[in-house]
Structure 1
Amino acid sequence: MAWADAIGTQAISSGVRNNGTCWICKYVLLKDCGRYRPQLDVRAIEHLCDVSNMTTIMVDDSQADIARQLRSSIRTVKIPSFPKIQNSRNEYRDNDLSRSASHDVAYLRHTSGTSSGLPKPIVQTQWGVVGCLPSFPHPKQPATFSTTPLYHGGLADCFRAWTSGAMIWLFSEGRMPITGRNVIDAVAYARSQSSAAVKYFSSVPYVVQMLADEPEGLRLLQSMDLVGVGGAALTPSVGDELVEAGVKLVSRMGSAECGFLMSSHRDYAEDKEWQYLRPIVDSTYLSFEPRGDGLSELVVKPSWPLISKTNRDDGSYATSDLFEAHPSIPNAWRYHSRADAQIVLANGKKFDPSPMEEVIKASSPLIQDVLVFGTGKPYAGALLFKASDDPSDEDVINAAWPTIHLLNGKSQGHSRLARSMLVVVKLEDEDPIAKSSKGTILRRQAEARFANLIERSYESKRVVCPKIEKIEDSELTSVLKDLFAQILGWEADIYQDLFGQGVDSIACIQVKKLIESTMFPEKSPRLPTNIIYDSGSISVLCENLNRIKRDGCLRNTEDEIGEWELMRDLSEKYGDFTSCSTTCSAKKHGDVVVLTGATGTLGAHILSTLCRDVNIRKVYCLLRSQLQSTPKKRMADSLSRRGLSGEDKIKGGKVVSIYCELSKPHLGLSDEDWTRIITESTTFIHVAWSVNFSLPLGSQAFVHHIAGTREMIKAAVASGARFVFVSSTAAVNSVFTAIIKENVSQDPSHASPLGYARSKWVAEQICSSAYQQLPDASISIVRVGQLCGNEAGVWNMSESYPLILSTASLAGCLPDLRNQSLNWLPVDQAASAVLEITLSAGNGKRESSPDMPVYHVLNPYRSPSWSQLLCWISHTPGSSEFEIVEPAEWLRRVESALGSSHAKHPSQALLGFWRGRYSDCQSKTVQLPSQFEIDSTLQSSPTMRGLKPLGRDEVVGMWDWIQENAKKL
């Protein structure tokens, strides 16, 4: 019953206060015994002016008597009269007067200006003030005590109380400092004087934290029926402690543009999830649109009664607030970050720095504030503002490092903070850092103010370990292990594959910088860009660094033995299946599929298709281990961000997600999981692979996948299941023949000269070896060609073609790729084709052919052309305007745009690839690609038989999706 009284939004009431002037309600509807009466009385107005520093109010003719009674220090401004409305319910009658009232301006409020420091005025109508708020007619409503300023959220607290005929007490912020002791005394006074029990407490988070630190303050909070917080984020650890202590804590969410939106009001005795907001279950009012990485953006629809601003053509307001869903509670959402306040690194990776800043700030009294930076940079850093001159910079870093180290182990890889990127700053007392009214740092202003310091941090030569010349060879491994721990927040195994352990490209850049700046003299040769990935493990990296120290350069092992010889060696090393045999004789019931790569684009569409297939009893998804989330959540997020169905099957148990290590015996599974898979599975589909075009074949990342292919085949054979390896046409597309056959190539030169393509060729040889050595095994290969967006246009913004097209808004042009055909296959059709081939009755049966089956899933048509695509998208309504230029000119403009200090775009990572392909495109002779045979594929796949060339609608759909998602890059 008390929901509307105590749990409304903070932002609804942010009345504009400028130079001592406040515009309050021209006409306020207040409920009293079923009648409405105009405005406030004299005493109430004077009190409002006192506690919020108002000097001017607005009145109409009907309120002239009240205005004359006000003291002389309060200035009144006359406005046109507004008729009274006689209505006993919280709604307007459908007549001219009520329509006028619903749209008439009551007052102005403003946004907080958290990011930019520039608040924006928002018009509030009479209907938005009180007309749509719930009211409770029964007597003896509990009273509210609000510490929220009237110019911020206090006015909304007043409205909620008044529409229910309830009393509200306001803390006199203008007359005394807001301390824990003063709040406790004020509440005690209110309770002694109030005719209604003071049982609701409304506040901003820092006041609640202040009270929680004092035993008497905690008892005060425990005595309340509700403790509502809003306006900013309450530190999760503080909120958790309060809830455990029995405080009925509720989080409120609103905005200046849309008023009150939702709260975490719930069954307080049973439900402790105070951070998860519970919106109205009606998509015509509020909706959550997937934005990737398991996050969704809150969108307020035109029918929402408090909406006063729109930013979409349909009248909706996209809030830029990102939320994550509760893993088990339906329609429960936890605030994650602001899409427009995230840090975007040079590689396009994004993260919200605010939670990190709050946790680091709370880690030590030596730290006054924290500002995480990194926009447009390869990795992040942090400014630590120390509270006084007493501690040294190193003391401040030592105080913060244990917390940062812990965060690094739990956070997304690209948001990690290296110790070398912690910069200590001492602010002068007279020159504090700018903050919003909510107490948050104004990020843009702070980044501009400390721009020089931030730039220098990326050039730092701070020594954290001895120079390499002073380190014995036997000690170098230990030193390198410590450097990795500084970056990762956990210790890496020195012999295991770094990529397999979760060491990403950003960590490699950070570690490489540490090695260069702390272990080598300044005049030493620069380390190779990919030295860490190429080395693969810490032990091999140690050997390579010693070789550079000794020889002055790093000899390339692949050049010594020959790339093709390495391909053959790997094929032979991992192609021995003489000891492999079937171990499962149990009778199996229904089709059970084991799938790898289900979090990738193709794998996710395969999984979604399997979920819809009633003939599939269960799907086991094998995932590479991650620290950030559970396997079930990763699977649900993967489907959600692509708009695919199947989340219900994950919750219902048809899809079972398990962490594994594919390159290890028994796939690195526990005995229990291994036994379940071997006894139940009927089909293995191996999709997982590193799509990284900068890694050489000899990198541990690809060796890990090659070894994993062998272990997957052994698992399929042990269970008596069929095995399908999803390869790539890149494994054979360097064949100089008119037709590329549906068979295994024996020539390593047939693979494209990329580590990715060559690793796929090696894996195909391993499949072929298993097929020859194991006469009872059912093994086949499906080579997939260039994929594109699905039926809804959803693609993958990290791929080359979407990134090329996304540069239209970045560089104002697109390249004229002559002789380029759009032989792209929509990924949903590719997924259907792969499954039709996999589950077809004849697939893998020896009597059909003595050779291992190979299938080509690709678009065989050489139309439309790239030129046709450019024509279609250039005539699309609302399309970004762009020029069509030569590839070299397009590349020059993209490089120029990316060189701007304000430009941030993930295409930065593909510049090297594009330079090699397009920089002198005019002088190159473009060779038409060979045609792939698809006879066997057509026999097994109805989808492939019904395939048609890409049409205008499909291309435009993908273009629209790319344009929309390019705005988020």
Structure 2
Amino acid sequence: MSHLSQEYVQHLYDTFGELKVLDDIVRHRAADDPQLPILGYPRFENSVDEYERFTGRQLDHFIDAAVKHFISSGFIPNAAETVALLAPSNLDFVVSFFALSRLGYTVLNLSLRIKPIAIINLLQKTDCSTIVHGHSPHVASTVHKVNQDLPVKSLRVPTRSDYDRLPSDEPPFVREYDRNEENGRIAVILHSSGSTGLPKPVMISHKALLTHPTQGRGMHNFNALPWYHIYGLSTSLQAMWMRKTAHLYNTSLPMTADNLVAILEAVQPEALHAVPYGLGLLAEKQRGVEAMKACKIVTSAGARTPDELGDRLVREGINLAVAFGTTEAGLLGDTIGREKGDNSWNYIRIYANIRKYVYMNPLGDDSYECVYLKGHPALSTSNSDIPAPGSWHSKDVFFPHPTIPDVWKYVSRIDDRVTLVNGEKVLPLPIEGRIREDELVREAVVVGVDESIPGLLVFRAKAADHMSDEAYLNAIWPSVADANSRAEAFSQIATDMITLIPSDVDYPQTDKGSIIRAQVYKKFEDQIKGMYAKLQDNEEGGLKLDLPALEDYLMMTFRDTIGIPLKSLETDFFTAGVDSLKAIQARRIIQKTLELNGNQLSPNIVYERGNAKHLARHLYALGKGEEVQQVDKTSLMRQLINKYSGFRKAVILTGATGSIGAHVLAQLVARDEIDKVYCLNRGDRPMQRILDSLKERRLEVTKASKAKILALTSNLSQPGFGIDASILAQMKKEVALIVHIAWPVNFNISLLSFEPHIAGLHNLLRFSLSVQAPQPAQLFFCSSISSALNTPCPASIPEAPIEDLSRASSMGYAQSKLVGEHIVRNAARAGARSYVLRIGQIVGDAQHGLWNDKEFTPSMIRSALTLKALPSLQERCSWLPVDTLATTILELAETLAASPTPLGPDPDEPSIFYNLVNPHVFSWADLLAELQAAGLEFRTIPVDDWLRLLDGSAARGDEVRNPAVKLIEFFEDNLKGAEDKGIEFETAAARRDSAALRSPPRMIEDGYVRKFLAAWMQRWA
């Protein structure tokens, strides 16, 4: 929208409200400005260098004439039926499409590539019995074959001579209908490509289809996609609605580089919309590159644009963007609106108006499936009730941007991923896209489903017909090697796992030029089986070696052939980097080289023997015909358990010098799986202050545990926290958990004074999203129950967001905590694994009973030694020991470590809130009774009487003996007229995810109050 004037944007939205049916796009433009060109098409069917532009009035006239043509052929207005349109996507198609819609029919747009059996299936599923078809022999033959199995009414599509006639005095066709009802009717039916079976119909209502026009950028465009694909249809509608001209491709001409260049030079569009195949053709010619550079925007859609092609075009100065969408849900987002200098052309930004209806579902290995939620304005189907009823799992797989939150790169379909027998998932599209860039390659297809390693089918380009297989493989190997260098080790293609296919052999492909993977696998099944049969070729070599020579041979083979130098004979193969692919390669080389006395090596021999020393002994015994020592499986199991049971991670902790932070730190470093704790602190000597805090709380830390602590002076409000860039980079590689406790506990300062700390929370959240790990780091924000204490009573506070900001206590501290909660919630919506811990009254630890006696409750109890009285309060207490809280936090982190941010009943609302209060509640009266039973002498008096005694103690200067006088203003503000507010905090989620809260300590019954008092008396005496 940034390309349009503010006035026109307002006009657009004002007028858009009048749109109720698809046909209104043309009607509005015809009435708005009769001379406004909204459609461009070649003047001659066999020419690309002269385009005719039709005004809204002309197109409206064409449509009206076509309507009358259909009526004369037996079509009935408002028949509420479906008509199939099987014809080239040209001017005749466009006019017929609008005319059928104007009559009230639902239009089933059929691809020209699908087979008769697929058309029959779509007709049956949509209750369609009429086909309007093109004039070509191919289309006529297809309709004839359909009729043999499913008799249908057929009519040839009207041509220009049928509808381009001089206007007559006959009034235009007008159909009466209820606009609100029409809005919900199906306007068009598109269909899937059929790559995993028969194509499936996708119903799109008028309302859903009309969400597309407003996504345009207001540019004259050229569209190289047919109207039976959603992107071709939607981008044309965008231009027409935005008062621009939508130019169509001449479908009577083959799509070649020369034709595309000639079209662009003739049309000179501001925006070019094409499939990656079309961009690749244009990129072959320098004139094509120059023509694309002349466009303000070049977009690619319909299939994944190879990174190599896109990067090359961007380097040429082309403003390349990708748009991503589905037939079932329309456009998801694009990369058009990037800031200047942002070259992340292949990472889409989801449109703001639909973002809340999109859930990125983690699949592991840092990939996410795009799930559309009920309420999405263009969603036309559903296939799951997870994460919420009415969801649609698209099977489209994305990677998040490494540093920019909520920006996504499409990588593949779930169906496209090649899953090896060991469970590793190969992403074929990047590999295929890079190899396809080679001018000698027509197509490349990765294979290997349920096999041990991936293979590759390479379809020769005609330019390579003169080359022998060996010469051809050598010629394309640099491209394969480059693709391997960008892929994970288990995804790399070995030289002997490539099968070459001649240039004259066709392969199944979609209208967009992309392969239909399942059909390719089926068609070339014999070639694929033959390639993998070679892996089982157990032909034995003839090389005889003694044991020392065998050891040298293995060291040399792994160094020179496998590419893994071993430090010693005892070096573990796996640890050295021998992955499953290299292990299989090594096994094949050994089998074919050495004389093994007729023995066949186990497929997993390299891993079974573990290192070169053990493998050499095994091979020597086989060659000599000696008894082979079997591996002790039980012993090996123990070794593997020990070897792979270490799951180590790093943690960021703020507030480590405070009570909660000290206990969290002590428990963190005591855990074997924690490798390092980065303690971010303000001020100098952070390590010494942390150690002093641990010592003060009697928290013993071993020397080994202490070595895990890295204390850093930092400023969270600064970008990068004000710490060394190299340390920050290391943290991004290691950190899996962030526990953010640090926050000024000052009840007197205003909300604005907390802004640096709010900024610090924001920076930590951004950091959590940028870590170089399989998924964002967890972040736990320690909030406070004070964020809800102004809720009208009685109330039960759920573990959910607090929408009414006035519910926070009047203190700036409480208000800042609620602000923080909303920021964490918004981060979770954007993909962060962030959680809110709403913490209640925290008391001393369970082991030693150490509770800071400067806090208001201990200070009040201490006043009994001087005043011999304590106030009678109508209050319920929900106390939680500080070490129990620390355990609860770490248990929540462990429970949620492998889980996505869960969704609550509302699909838009991440369930990330926990109320951390003790479920066991006791009254203030019970507390006073327990203190008296423990030997503390006092009488219970009304609050006003106690405040008068406290005021008198202050007048006498009793601050040393009675520190409560320092808090006299706080007590007066909070105790006068105080009564139990009747506010409870629900803890079901916290108890579900934390064992410590499922069996919480009971303060009175379990003796904690007496333990606190005993610890205090040792100090107060």
Q: TM-score, normalised by structure 1?
A: 0.51
Deviations 1:514-536 (A, max 9, x none): 433x2246862233565423543
Note the C-alpha offset of 1:254. 0.4
Residues 248/84 of structure 1: CA separation in 2 closer, same or farther (3 Å cut): farther
- Determine if the alignment matches structure 1 residue 189 to structure 2 residue 266: yes
Note the C-alpha offset of 1:631. 6.9
Asked if structure 1 preserves the Cα contact closer than 8 Å seen for 2:297 and 2:336, the reply is no
- Determine if the alignment matches structure 1 residue 393 to structure 2 residue 464: no
- Name the CA distance, whole Å, in 2 between partners of 1:126 and 1:655: 41
The residue type equivalent to 1:258 in the other structure is A
1:787-936 correspondence runs (5 A): 791=895
Residues 325/592 of structure 1: CA separation in 2 closer, same or farther (3 Å cut): farther
In the alignment, which residue of structure 1 is the partner of 2:213? 133
Note the C-alpha offset of 1:127. 1.6
1:216-365 correspondence runs (5 A): 216-281=287-352, 283-313=355-385, 314-363=389-438, 365=440
Q: Secondary structure at the match of 1:41?
A: helix
Structure with the larger RCO, 1 or 2 (CA within 8 Å, 6+ apart): 1
Q: Secondary structure at the match of 2:368?
A: strand
How many aligned positions are there?
588
Deviations 1:375-420 (A, max 9, x none): 1222222223334653333333333434434444542233232333
Q: Secondary structure at the match of 1:32?
A: helix
- Name the CA distance, whole Å, in 2 between partners of 1:4 and 1:454: 53
- Name the CA distance, whole Å, in 1 between partners of 2:766 and 2:593: 50
Residues 183/84 of structure 1: CA separation in 2 closer, same or farther (3 Å cut): farther
In the alignment, which residue of structure 2 is the partner of 1:694? none
In the alignment, which residue of structure 2 is the partner of 1:548? 622
Residues 251/554 of structure 1: CA separation in 2 closer, same or farther (3 Å cut): same
- Name the CA distance, whole Å, in 2 between partners of 1:446 and 1:638: 44
Q: Secondary structure at the match of 1:173?
A: coil
Q: Secondary structure at the match of 2:573?
A: coil
Deviations 1:747-788 (A, max 9, x none): xxxxxxxxxxxxxxxxxxxxxxxxxxxxxxxxxxxxxxxx99
1:740-819 correspondence runs (5 A): 791=895
- Determine if the alignment matches structure 1 residue 501 to structure 2 residue 576: yes
Note the C-alpha offset of 1:558. 7.4
- Name the CA distance, whole Å, in 2 between partners of 1:30 and 1:477: 83
Asked if structure 1 preserves the Cα contact closer than 8 Å seen for 2:595 and 2:623, the reply is no
The residue type equivalent to 1:104 in the other structure is R
Asked if structure 1 preserves the Cα contact closer than 8 Å seen for 2:564 and 2:576, the reply is no
Q: Secondary structure at the match of 1:545?
A: helix
1:540-579 correspondence runs (5 A): 541-555=615-629
Asked if structure 1 preserves the Cα contact closer than 8 Å seen for 2:62 and 2:95, the reply is no
In the alignment, which residue of structure 1 is the partner of 2:60? 41
Q: Which residue of the other structure, out of 29, 32, 41, is the alignment partner of 1:32?
A: 29
In the alignment, which residue of structure 2 is the partner of 1:664? none
In the alignment, which residue of structure 1 is the partner of 2:142? none
1:172-211 correspondence runs (5 A): 172-174=250-252, 176-191=253-268, 198-211=269-282
In the alignment, which residue of structure 1 is the partner of 2:203? 123
Residues 279/948 of structure 1: CA separation in 2 closer, same or farther (3 Å cut): same
- Determine if the alignment matches structure 1 residue 71 to structure 2 residue 161: yes
- Name the CA distance, whole Å, in 1 between partners of 2:573 and 2:309: 37
- Name the CA distance, whole Å, in 1 between partners of 2:309 and 2:572: 39
1:605-616 correspondence runs (5 A): none
- Name the CA distance, whole Å, in 1 between partners of 2:577 and 2:617: 22
- Name the CA distance, whole Å, in 2 between partners of 1:500 and 1:346: 21
Note the C-alpha offset of 1:548. 2.8
Asked if structure 2 preserves the Cα contact closer than 8 Å seen for 1:468 and 1:520, the reply is yes
- Determine if the alignment matches structure 1 residue 147 to structure 2 residue 228: no
Asked if structure 2 preserves the Cα contact closer than 8 Å seen for 1:324 and 1:334, the reply is yes
Deviations 1:26-73 (A, max 9, x none): 775554388599994355899986457689657469779xx9996349
- Determine if the alignment matches structure 1 residue 171 to structure 2 residue 168: no
Deviations 1:164-194 (A, max 9, x none): 11112222132x2323332232223224xxx
Q: Secondary structure at the match of 1:296?
A: strand
Note the C-alpha offset of 1:557. 8.7
Residues 335/540 of structure 1: CA separation in 2 closer, same or farther (3 Å cut): same
Note the C-alpha offset of 1:216. 1.9
Note the C-alpha offset of 1:356. 1.3
Deviations 1:104-124 (A, max 9, x none): 1222212222x3263222122
In the alignment, which residue of structure 1 is the partner of 2:512? 438
Note the C-alpha offset of 1:308. 1.1
In the alignment, which residue of structure 1 is the partner of 2:777? none
Note the C-alpha offset of 1:329. 1.2
In the alignment, which residue of structure 1 is the partner of 2:457? 383
The residue type equivalent to 2:391 in the other structure is S
Asked if structure 1 preserves the Cα contact closer than 8 Å seen for 2:219 and 2:242, the reply is no
Q: Secondary structure at the match of 2:533?
A: coil
Residues 99/790 of structure 1: CA separation in 2 closer, same or farther (3 Å cut): farther
Note the C-alpha offset of 1:457. 2.4
- Name the CA distance, whole Å, in 2 between partners of 1:55 and 1:34: 18
- Name the CA distance, whole Å, in 1 between partners of 2:609 and 2:499: 31
In the alignment, which residue of structure 1 is the partner of 2:844? none
Q: Secondary structure at the match of 2:543?
A: helix
Q: Which residue of the other structure, out of 183, 189, 192, is the alignment partner of 1:111?
A: 192
- Name the CA distance, whole Å, in 2 between partners of 1:157 and 1:375: 37
- Name the CA distance, whole Å, in 2 between partners of 1:358 and 1:173: 26
Asked if structure 2 preserves the Cα contact closer than 8 Å seen for 1:129 and 1:159, the reply is no
- Name the CA distance, whole Å, in 2 between partners of 1:339 and 1:223: 37
The structure whose Rg is larger is 2
- Name the CA distance, whole Å, in 1 between partners of 2:216 and 2:601: 71
In the alignment, which residue of structure 2 is the partner of 1:901? none
Structure 1: runs of 5 or more not aligned:
6-23, 75-79, 86-96, 192-197, 572-587, 622-629, 640-645, 660-786, 797-828, 830-941, 950-969
Note the C-alpha offset of 1:251. 0.7
Structure 2: runs of 5 or more not aligned:
6-20, 34-55, 67-86, 105-156, 165-171, 644-655, 682-689, 695-705, 712-728, 739-760, 775-890, 901-913, 915-992, 1001-1021
Residues 322/248 of structure 1: CA separation in 2 closer, same or farther (3 Å cut): same
- Name the CA distance, whole Å, in 1 between partners of 2:623 and 2:680: 54
- Determine if the alignment matches structure 1 residue 469 to structure 2 residue 543: yes
- Determine if the alignment matches structure 1 residue 161 to structure 2 residue 161: no
In the alignment, which residue of structure 1 is the partner of 2:183? 102
- Name the CA distance, whole Å, in 2 between partners of 1:492 and 1:552: 27
Residues 232/49 of structure 1: CA separation in 2 closer, same or farther (3 Å cut): closer
In the alignment, which residue of structure 2 is the partner of 1:698? none
- Name the CA distance, whole Å, in 2 between partners of 1:438 and 1:103: 30
Asked if structure 1 preserves the Cα contact closer than 8 Å seen for 2:226 and 2:232, the reply is yes
Note the C-alpha offset of 1:326. 1.0
Q: Percent identity?
A: 23
1:383-782 correspondence runs (5 A): 383-387=457-461, 389-426=465-502, 429=504, 431-460=505-534, 467-469=541-543, 480=554, 484=558, 495=569, 496-516=571-591, 518-520=592-594, 524-528=598-602, 531-538=605-612, 541-555=615-629, 603=673, 649=764, 652=767
- Name the CA distance, whole Å, in 1 between partners of 2:159 and 2:510: 37
Instruction: Supply the RMSD in Å over aligned alpha carbons.
Output: 5.4
Note the C-alpha offset of 1:284. 2.3
